[in-house]
A and B are shown apart, each in its own frame.
Chain A
Protein backbone atom coordinates (compact mmCIF):
# COMPACT_ATOMS: atom_id res chain seq x y z
CA UNK A 1 0.00 0.00 0.00
CA UNK A 2 1.18 3.42 0.96
CA UNK A 3 4.63 2.73 2.40
CA UNK A 4 5.49 0.27 -0.38
CA UNK A 5 5.28 2.90 -3.09
CA UNK A 6 6.27 6.30 -1.71
CA UNK A 7 5.95 9.20 -4.12
CA UNK A 8 8.11 12.24 -3.44
CA UNK A 9 6.30 15.18 -4.93
CA UNK A 10 5.99 18.87 -3.98
CA UNK A 11 2.29 18.63 -3.21
CA UNK A 12 2.11 22.22 -2.03
CA UNK A 13 3.28 23.52 -5.43
CA UNK A 14 0.76 21.23 -7.14
CA UNK A 15 -2.09 22.40 -4.91
CA UNK A 16 -1.09 26.04 -5.35
CA UNK A 17 -1.08 25.58 -9.12
CA UNK A 18 -4.61 24.24 -8.99
CA UNK A 19 -5.83 26.77 -6.42
CA UNK A 20 -4.76 29.51 -8.85
CA UNK A 21 -7.17 28.29 -11.55
CA UNK A 22 -9.82 26.55 -9.42
CA UNK A 23 -12.42 29.34 -9.41
CA UNK A 24 -12.24 29.85 -13.17
CA UNK A 25 -12.55 26.14 -13.97
CA UNK A 26 -15.30 25.42 -11.45
CA UNK A 27 -17.25 28.44 -12.76
CA UNK A 28 -17.42 26.67 -16.13
CA UNK A 29 -18.93 23.59 -14.53
CA UNK A 30 -22.67 24.25 -14.68
CA UNK A 31 -23.80 20.73 -13.73
CA UNK A 32 -23.71 21.18 -9.95
CA UNK A 33 -25.88 18.11 -9.40
CA UNK A 34 -23.34 15.64 -10.76
CA UNK A 35 -19.95 14.78 -9.34
CA UNK A 36 -17.17 12.62 -10.72
CA UNK A 37 -14.64 12.18 -7.94
CA UNK A 38 -16.57 13.78 -5.20
CA UNK A 39 -18.48 10.63 -4.42
CA UNK A 40 -15.99 10.82 -1.59
CA UNK A 41 -17.22 7.88 0.26
CA UNK A 42 -15.48 5.93 -2.52
CA UNK A 43 -12.15 7.75 -2.26
CA UNK A 44 -12.11 8.15 1.52
CA UNK A 45 -12.85 4.50 2.00
CA UNK A 46 -9.71 3.38 0.16
CA UNK A 47 -7.57 1.13 2.33
CA UNK A 48 -3.79 1.67 2.51
CA UNK A 49 -3.33 -1.58 0.61
CA UNK A 50 -5.20 -0.13 -2.38
CA UNK A 51 -3.74 3.37 -2.36
CA UNK A 52 -1.08 2.66 -4.98
CA UNK A 53 -3.50 1.02 -7.41
CA UNK A 54 -6.06 3.83 -7.08
CA UNK A 55 -3.31 6.41 -7.51
CA UNK A 56 -2.13 4.70 -10.68
CA UNK A 57 -5.68 4.43 -12.04
CA UNK A 58 -6.59 8.05 -11.29
CA UNK A 59 -3.36 9.39 -12.72
CA UNK A 60 -4.17 7.46 -15.90
CA UNK A 61 -7.76 8.78 -15.77
CA UNK A 62 -6.48 12.36 -15.77
CA UNK A 63 -3.65 11.84 -18.22
CA UNK A 64 -5.47 9.67 -20.75
CA UNK A 65 -8.98 11.09 -20.58
CA UNK A 66 -9.39 14.41 -18.76
CA UNK A 67 -6.37 16.33 -20.05
CA UNK A 68 -7.01 14.97 -23.56
CA UNK A 69 -10.72 15.82 -23.61
CA UNK A 70 -10.24 19.30 -22.20
CA UNK A 71 -9.78 22.22 -24.59
CA UNK A 72 -8.60 25.26 -22.73
CA UNK A 73 -8.67 28.71 -24.44
CA UNK A 74 -7.05 30.66 -21.60
CA UNK A 75 -3.22 30.53 -21.87
CA UNK A 76 -2.71 31.12 -18.15
CA UNK A 77 -5.00 28.25 -17.20
CA UNK A 78 -3.42 26.09 -19.89
CA UNK A 79 0.04 26.69 -18.42
CA UNK A 80 -1.17 25.66 -14.99
CA UNK A 81 -2.85 22.51 -16.34
CA UNK A 82 0.34 21.62 -18.21
CA UNK A 83 2.35 22.05 -15.02
CA UNK A 84 -0.04 19.73 -13.18
CA UNK A 85 0.08 17.21 -16.05
CA UNK A 86 3.90 17.18 -15.94
CA UNK A 87 3.79 16.49 -12.22
CA UNK A 88 1.34 13.66 -12.84
CA UNK A 89 3.66 12.27 -15.53
CA UNK A 90 6.48 12.14 -13.00
CA UNK A 91 4.22 10.45 -10.44
CA UNK A 92 3.08 7.94 -13.06
CA UNK A 93 6.67 6.88 -13.67
CA UNK A 94 7.21 6.32 -9.96
CA UNK A 95 4.01 4.32 -9.59
CA UNK A 96 4.74 2.27 -12.72
CA UNK A 97 8.10 1.25 -11.26
CA UNK A 98 6.30 0.05 -8.15
CA UNK A 99 3.95 -1.96 -10.37
CA UNK A 100 6.86 -3.57 -12.21
CA UNK A 101 8.30 -4.53 -8.83
CA UNK A 102 4.95 -6.06 -7.83
CA UNK A 103 4.26 -3.40 -5.21
CA UNK A 104 1.14 -1.89 -6.76
CA UNK A 105 -1.38 -4.70 -6.83
CA UNK A 106 -5.01 -3.93 -7.80
CA UNK A 107 -7.72 -5.59 -5.76
CA UNK A 108 -11.40 -5.60 -6.67
CA UNK A 109 -12.29 -2.77 -4.26
CA UNK A 110 -9.78 -0.47 -5.89
CA UNK A 111 -10.90 -1.40 -9.38
CA UNK A 112 -14.52 -0.75 -8.42
CA UNK A 113 -13.72 2.75 -7.22
CA UNK A 114 -12.07 3.77 -10.46
CA UNK A 115 -14.88 2.13 -12.44
CA UNK A 116 -17.40 4.33 -10.58
CA UNK A 117 -15.35 7.37 -11.54
CA UNK A 118 -15.22 6.35 -15.19
CA UNK A 119 -18.98 5.66 -15.13
CA UNK A 120 -19.63 9.11 -13.70
CA UNK A 121 -17.45 10.57 -16.45
CA UNK A 122 -19.32 8.67 -19.14
CA UNK A 123 -22.63 10.16 -18.00
CA UNK A 124 -21.60 13.50 -19.48
CA UNK A 125 -20.41 14.73 -22.84
CA UNK A 126 -16.61 14.44 -22.88
CA UNK A 127 -15.75 18.13 -22.73
CA UNK A 128 -18.28 18.78 -19.97
CA UNK A 129 -16.97 15.78 -18.04
CA UNK A 130 -13.40 17.00 -18.49
CA UNK A 131 -14.21 20.45 -17.08
CA UNK A 132 -15.96 18.84 -14.12
CA UNK A 133 -13.05 16.47 -13.46
CA UNK A 134 -10.58 19.35 -13.62
CA UNK A 135 -12.77 21.26 -11.16
CA UNK A 136 -12.52 18.33 -8.78
CA UNK A 137 -8.73 18.08 -8.92
CA UNK A 138 -8.63 19.57 -5.43
CA UNK A 139 -10.34 16.39 -4.16
CA UNK A 140 -7.76 14.13 -5.84
CA UNK A 141 -4.80 16.29 -4.75
CA UNK A 142 -6.08 16.37 -1.16
CA UNK A 143 -6.43 12.58 -1.25
CA UNK A 144 -2.89 12.15 -2.60
CA UNK A 145 -1.55 14.61 -0.03
CA UNK A 146 -3.27 12.76 2.79
CA UNK A 147 -2.11 9.33 1.65
CA UNK A 148 1.47 10.21 0.78
CA UNK A 149 2.26 12.61 3.61
CA UNK A 150 5.56 10.94 4.47
CA UNK A 151 6.39 10.20 0.88
CA UNK A 152 5.93 13.80 -0.14
CA UNK A 153 8.89 16.21 -0.48
Chain B
Protein backbone atom coordinates (compact mmCIF):
# COMPACT_ATOMS: atom_id res chain seq x y z
CA UNK B 1 0.00 0.00 0.00
CA UNK B 2 1.67 3.30 -1.01
CA UNK B 3 2.15 5.63 1.89
CA UNK B 4 1.70 9.36 2.03
CA UNK B 5 5.24 10.65 1.83
CA UNK B 6 6.49 13.46 3.98
CA UNK B 7 4.01 13.25 6.85
CA UNK B 8 6.59 11.66 9.12
CA UNK B 9 9.95 13.14 10.12
CA UNK B 10 12.92 11.41 8.51
CA UNK B 11 15.26 8.96 10.29
CA UNK B 12 18.44 10.77 11.41
CA UNK B 13 22.21 10.12 11.39
CA UNK B 14 22.09 7.70 8.47
CA UNK B 15 25.62 6.36 8.08
CA UNK B 16 27.61 3.29 7.15
CA UNK B 17 29.48 1.53 9.91
CA UNK B 18 32.22 -0.33 8.06
CA UNK B 19 34.80 -2.64 9.61
CA UNK B 20 36.91 -4.96 7.43
CA UNK B 21 34.44 -4.37 4.59
CA UNK B 22 31.43 -5.44 6.67
CA UNK B 23 29.25 -2.50 5.70
CA UNK B 24 26.19 -1.93 7.89
CA UNK B 25 23.81 0.94 7.32
CA UNK B 26 22.57 2.38 10.62
CA UNK B 27 20.32 5.26 11.63
CA UNK B 28 18.39 6.78 14.51
CA UNK B 29 14.59 6.82 14.73
CA UNK B 30 12.84 10.02 13.60
CA UNK B 31 12.62 12.66 16.29
CA UNK B 32 9.44 12.68 18.32
CA UNK B 33 8.34 9.14 17.39
CA UNK B 34 9.78 7.17 20.32
CA UNK B 35 7.40 4.43 21.38
CA UNK B 36 5.51 4.59 18.10
CA UNK B 37 5.58 1.34 16.10
CA UNK B 38 7.65 2.65 13.18
CA UNK B 39 9.11 0.43 10.47
CA UNK B 40 11.83 1.22 7.94
CA UNK B 41 12.66 0.49 4.33
CA UNK B 42 16.14 0.72 2.82
CA UNK B 43 17.42 1.20 -0.72
CA UNK B 44 20.96 1.53 -2.04
CA UNK B 45 22.63 3.01 -5.13
CA UNK B 46 25.87 2.20 -6.92
CA UNK B 47 27.50 5.48 -7.90
CA UNK B 48 27.51 5.76 -11.71
CA UNK B 49 24.67 3.28 -12.19
CA UNK B 50 21.13 4.15 -13.18
CA UNK B 51 18.68 3.42 -10.39
CA UNK B 52 18.11 2.80 -6.72
CA UNK B 53 17.94 -0.86 -5.76
CA UNK B 54 15.85 -2.56 -3.11
CA UNK B 55 17.18 -4.69 -0.30
CA UNK B 56 14.27 -7.12 0.29
CA UNK B 57 15.56 -8.18 3.71
CA UNK B 58 15.37 -4.56 4.83
CA UNK B 59 11.82 -3.78 3.80
CA UNK B 60 9.38 -2.79 6.59
CA UNK B 61 11.84 -3.73 9.33
CA UNK B 62 11.66 -2.66 12.99
CA UNK B 63 15.42 -2.56 13.65
CA UNK B 64 17.51 0.52 12.90
CA UNK B 65 20.29 -1.13 10.93
CA UNK B 66 20.66 -3.06 7.68
CA UNK B 67 23.65 -5.13 6.57
CA UNK B 68 24.56 -4.07 3.04
CA UNK B 69 27.91 -5.87 2.95
CA UNK B 70 26.94 -8.13 0.05
CA UNK B 71 25.53 -5.25 -1.96
CA UNK B 72 28.63 -3.11 -1.41
CA UNK B 73 31.24 -5.85 -1.61
CA UNK B 74 32.99 -4.38 -4.65
CA UNK B 75 35.02 -2.08 -2.48
CA UNK B 76 36.40 -0.04 -5.36
CA UNK B 77 33.01 1.29 -6.27
CA UNK B 78 31.21 4.00 -4.36
CA UNK B 79 27.70 3.83 -2.97
CA UNK B 80 24.79 5.70 -1.48
CA UNK B 81 22.04 4.30 0.74
CA UNK B 82 18.81 5.75 2.00
CA UNK B 83 16.09 4.83 4.50
CA UNK B 84 12.57 6.03 5.15
CA UNK B 85 10.26 5.61 8.16
CA UNK B 86 6.77 4.16 7.79
CA UNK B 87 3.89 4.27 10.27
CA UNK B 88 0.49 3.01 9.20
CA UNK B 89 -0.21 4.85 5.93
CA UNK B 90 2.26 7.64 6.54
CA UNK B 91 5.93 7.65 5.65
CA UNK B 92 8.83 10.04 5.79
CA UNK B 93 10.93 11.35 2.94
CA UNK B 94 14.12 9.42 2.30
CA UNK B 95 17.11 10.12 4.51
CA UNK B 96 20.28 9.55 2.49
CA UNK B 97 23.94 8.85 3.30
CA UNK B 98 26.83 10.73 1.77
CA UNK B 99 28.86 8.95 -0.89
CA UNK B 100 30.42 5.86 0.71
CA UNK B 101 33.78 4.55 -0.58
CA UNK B 102 34.57 1.25 1.22
CA UNK B 103 38.16 1.14 -0.06
CA UNK B 104 38.99 4.42 1.69
CA UNK B 105 36.51 4.37 4.55
CA UNK B 106 36.36 0.88 5.99
CA UNK B 107 37.94 0.53 9.44
CA UNK B 108 40.79 -1.95 9.52
CA UNK B 109 40.16 -4.21 12.48
CA UNK B 110 42.94 -5.24 14.88
CA UNK B 111 45.24 -8.16 13.95
CA UNK B 112 45.43 -11.44 15.82
CA UNK B 113 48.25 -11.17 18.39
CA UNK B 114 50.29 -14.14 19.74
CA UNK B 115 52.94 -13.52 22.42
CA UNK B 116 55.82 -15.85 23.35
CA UNK B 117 58.00 -14.80 26.28
CA UNK B 118 61.65 -15.46 26.91
CA UNK B 119 63.91 -14.19 29.71
CA UNK B 120 64.69 -10.77 28.21
CA UNK B 121 62.48 -10.75 25.14
CA UNK B 122 58.95 -11.32 23.88
CA UNK B 123 58.17 -12.58 20.38
CA UNK B 124 55.03 -11.15 18.81
CA UNK B 125 53.32 -12.78 15.84
CA UNK B 126 50.56 -10.76 14.15
CA UNK B 127 47.84 -12.15 11.89
CA UNK B 128 46.18 -9.68 9.55
CA UNK B 129 42.42 -9.24 10.01
CA UNK B 130 40.12 -10.95 7.54
CA UNK B 131 37.82 -9.23 5.08
CA UNK B 132 34.09 -9.76 5.64
CA UNK B 133 32.80 -12.80 3.83
CA UNK B 134 29.24 -13.70 2.90
CA UNK B 135 29.37 -17.34 3.93
CA UNK B 136 31.56 -18.82 6.68
CA UNK B 137 32.78 -21.47 4.24
CA UNK B 138 33.91 -18.90 1.69
CA UNK B 139 37.66 -18.61 1.20
CA UNK B 140 39.18 -16.15 3.68
CA UNK B 141 40.64 -12.97 2.18
CA UNK B 142 43.14 -11.11 4.32
CA UNK B 143 42.92 -7.33 4.51
CA UNK B 144 46.63 -7.46 3.67
CA UNK B 145 45.68 -8.64 0.19
CA UNK B 146 43.59 -5.51 -0.26
CA UNK B 147 46.01 -3.11 1.43
CA UNK B 148 49.54 -4.17 0.56
CA UNK B 149 50.83 -1.23 2.63
CA UNK B 150 49.04 -2.40 5.80
CA UNK B 151 51.11 -1.63 8.90
CA UNK B 152 50.71 -2.12 12.64
CA UNK B 153 51.32 0.17 15.57
CA UNK B 154 52.47 -2.02 18.49
CA UNK B 155 52.20 -0.40 21.95
CA UNK B 156 54.08 -2.02 24.85
CA UNK B 157 53.67 -1.23 28.54
CA UNK B 158 56.08 -2.31 31.30
CA UNK B 159 53.81 -2.73 34.34
CA UNK B 160 56.79 -2.51 36.76
CA UNK B 161 58.47 0.64 35.47
CA UNK B 162 55.16 2.05 34.16
CA UNK B 163 57.02 2.85 30.96
CA UNK B 164 55.20 2.66 27.58
CA UNK B 165 56.56 2.78 24.05
CA UNK B 166 55.29 1.97 20.60
CA UNK B 167 56.65 1.18 17.18
CA UNK B 168 55.34 0.71 13.65
CA UNK B 169 55.95 -2.64 11.98
CA UNK B 170 55.15 -3.79 8.47
CA UNK B 171 55.86 -7.49 8.70
CA UNK B 172 54.04 -9.93 10.93
CA UNK B 173 56.72 -10.84 13.45
CA UNK B 174 58.44 -8.65 15.99
CA UNK B 175 60.78 -9.45 18.86
CA UNK B 176 60.85 -7.04 21.79
CA UNK B 177 64.37 -7.22 23.20
CA UNK B 178 66.29 -5.79 26.17
CA UNK B 179 63.36 -6.49 28.47
CA UNK B 180 63.52 -7.07 32.21
CA UNK B 181 63.22 -10.70 33.36
CA UNK B 182 60.20 -11.80 35.41
CA UNK B 183 58.28 -8.66 34.49
CA UNK B 184 54.72 -8.33 33.29
CA UNK B 185 54.41 -6.58 29.93
CA UNK B 186 51.13 -5.60 28.24
CA UNK B 187 50.71 -5.26 24.46
CA UNK B 188 48.07 -3.63 22.29
CA UNK B 189 48.16 -3.47 18.47
CA UNK B 190 46.35 -1.22 15.98
CA UNK B 191 46.18 -1.82 12.24
CA UNK B 192 47.04 1.15 10.06
CA UNK B 193 46.90 1.98 6.34
CA UNK B 194 48.68 5.10 5.04
CA UNK B 195 46.17 7.49 3.44
CA UNK B 196 43.22 9.47 4.65
CA UNK B 197 42.67 9.09 8.39
CA UNK B 198 40.21 6.38 9.39
CA UNK B 199 38.97 5.26 12.78
CA UNK B 200 40.88 2.26 14.18
CA UNK B 201 40.01 -0.18 16.91
CA UNK B 202 42.97 -1.53 18.90
CA UNK B 203 43.34 -5.19 19.83
CA UNK B 204 42.41 -6.37 23.29
CA UNK B 205 45.19 -5.68 25.78
CA UNK B 206 47.29 -8.83 26.24
CA UNK B 207 49.73 -9.19 29.14
CA UNK B 208 52.51 -11.71 29.59
CA UNK B 209 55.46 -12.07 31.93
CA UNK B 210 59.05 -12.52 30.81
CA UNK B 211 60.71 -15.61 32.26
CA UNK B 212 62.86 -15.78 35.36
CA UNK B 213 66.52 -14.98 34.58
CA UNK B 214 68.16 -18.44 34.72
CA UNK B 215 71.65 -17.08 35.57
CA UNK B 216 70.43 -15.38 38.75
CA UNK B 217 68.35 -18.49 39.54
CA UNK B 218 71.53 -20.66 39.39
CA UNK B 219 73.46 -18.29 41.70
CA UNK B 220 70.74 -18.64 44.29
CA UNK B 221 71.27 -22.41 44.44
| Closest residue of B by beta carbon distance from A18 | B196
Task: Please tell me if B114 contacts chain A, counting CB pairs below 8 Å.
Answer: no
Contact assessment for A38 and B48 in the assembled complex, using a CB-CB cutoff below 8 Å: yes
User: B-side binding surface: helix, strand, loop or mixed?
Assistant: loop
Contacting residue for B196 out of A15, A27, A38, CB 8 A: A15
Please, which residues of chain A bring their CB within 8 A of the CB of B101?
138-139
Task: Please tell me if A116 contacts chain B, counting CB pairs below 8 Å.
Answer: no
Contact assessment for B195 and A15 in the assembled complex, using a CB-CB cutoff below 8 Å: yes
Contact assessment for B80 and A32 in the assembled complex, using a CB-CB cutoff below 8 Å: yes
Task: Please tell me if A35 contacts chain B, counting CB pairs below 8 Å.
Answer: yes
Beyond A11-B194, A15-B196, A32-B45, whether A26 also contacts B104 by CB under 8 A is no
Compute the total of residue contacts between A and B using a CB distance below 8 Å.
Answer: 55
Beyond A27-B98, A32-B80, whether A142 also contacts B48 by CB under 8 A is no
Interface 1/0 per residue, B56-88 and A, CB below 8 Å: 000000000000000000001110100000000
Beyond A27-B98, A38-B78, A40-B77, whether A142 also contacts B47 by CB under 8 A is no
Task: Please tell me if A82 contacts chain B, counting CB pairs below 8 Å.
Answer: no
Please, which residues of chain B bring their CB within 8 A of the CB of A27?
98
Contact assessment for B48 and A44 in the assembled complex, using a CB-CB cutoff below 8 Å: no
Report B154 CB to chain A, min CB distance, Å: 20
Please, which residues of chain A bring their CB within 8 A of the CB of B148?
149
Task: Please tell me if B205 contacts chain A, counting CB pairs below 8 Å.
Answer: no
Contact assessment for A33 and B99 in the assembled complex, using a CB-CB cutoff below 8 Å: no
Please, which residues of chain B bring their CB within 8 A of the CB of A16?
196-197
- Count B-side interface residues using an 8 Å CB cutoff: 21
Contacting residue for A142 out of B49, B50, B103, B197, CB 8 A: B103
| Closest residue of B by beta carbon distance from A24 | B98
Task: Please tell me if B166 contacts chain A, counting CB pairs below 8 Å.
Answer: no
| Closest residue of A by beta carbon distance from B45 | A32
Residues in A1-50 with C-beta less than 8 Å from chain B: 11-12, 15-16, 18-19, 22-23, 26-27, 32-35, 38-40, 44
- With A12-B196, A16-B197, A149-B148 known, 10 other A-B pairs at CB within 8 A are A12-B197, A16-B196, A18-B196, A19-B196, A32-B48, A33-B49, A33-B50, A40-B77, A139-B101, A149-B194
Interface residues of B (CB under 8 A from A): 45, 47-51, 76-78, 80, 98-99, 101, 103-104, 148-149, 194-197
Interface residues of A (CB under 8 A from B): 11-12, 15-16, 18-19, 22-23, 26-27, 32-35, 38-40, 44, 135, 138-139, 141-142, 145-146, 149, 152
